[in-house]
Chain A
Amino acid sequence: MNHGSSRVHGTREQLTSLSATSLSCKAPSARSIGTSQAKPETVQKVSDIVREQLALSADTALTAESKFSALGADSLDPVEIVMALEEKFDISVEESDAQNITTIQETADLIEDLVQKKPAAQAS
């Protein structure tokens, strides 16, 4: 009896631990369209380039949620910003992707997505 119940208990434990892993871990999938959150360093690098491009003073508050339009950017500034980011991170941003970004967080997410996809392409 004891032996039997411990086996069942063991299986249940395994099942619970499996479901716990799948619920808590958020693996960065290559196929997701920029839905994973970017690392703080990436956000910082993006912020630096945005600050430089828009000629913002050092004390202008720049958060991840800052919208380009709110920072005084016109419609051509994101083009320059994306170009600078392409060079800095050695990636290539598609036209459709570039048109959809409006905040610093979105930009950082997209960049991380592209950086992650890059080594896979080079390895194959």
Chain B
Amino acid sequence: MVAKLQVISLCRSLLRAGRKYPDYNIREYTKRRALDGFHMNKNLTDPSKVKEVYAEGKAQLEVVERALKVYLAYPPKTKNIMELKVQ
């Protein structure tokens, strides 16, 4: 039985992990996708379904953290134009 606190904690972990990416595009994508994923499934009531999507979320968290290590090894040399302040 997945508790509400666990779900919120997972969401927070995903957002935190995504924030660390040096690449602007990936950073924004992980944030958007994580929030979308949780919003999409927020009205589920069936416990087995909840457990299923929670496990999916956990697996995705592992992917994010694993990929982060690779991306940190090769950070982009220039800033993405979207990150630059408007002159």
Contacts and interface: CB of A to CB of B under 8 A. Distances in A.
Contacts, number: 27
Interface string A90-101: 000001001100
Interface in A23-41: none
Nearest to A83: B15
A79 B42 contact: no
B40 to A, nearest CB: 11
Contact of B42 (A74, A98, A99): A74
A99 B15 contact: no
Interface residues of B, number: 13
Interface in A44-98: 74-76, 79-80, 82-83, 87, 95, 98
A80 B16 CA distance: 11
B11 interface: yes
Interface stretch (B2-10, B47-55, B61-69, B74-82): B2-10
A interface residue count range (under 10 / 10 to 19 / 20 to 34 / 35 or more)? 10 to 19
A75 B4 contact: yes
A79 B11 contact: yes
A76 B35 contact: yes
Contacts of B24: none
Q: Which 8 A-B pairs have the closest CB atoms?
A: A79-B11, A83-B15, A79-B12, A76-B38, A79-B8, A76-B11, A95-B9, A75-B8
Interface string B13-33: 001100100000000000000
Contacts of A76: 8, 11, 35, 38-39, 42
Nearest to B11: A79
A95 B9 CA distance: 7
A95 B12 contact: yes
Most chain A CB neighbours (cut-off 10 Å) among B8, B16, B19, B38: B8
Contacts of B11: 76, 79
Contacts of B15: 79-80, 83
14 contacts: A74-B42, A75-B4, A75-B8, A75-B42, A76-B38, A76-B39, A79-B8, A79-B11, A79-B15, A80-B15, A83-B15, A95-B9, A95-B12, A99-B5
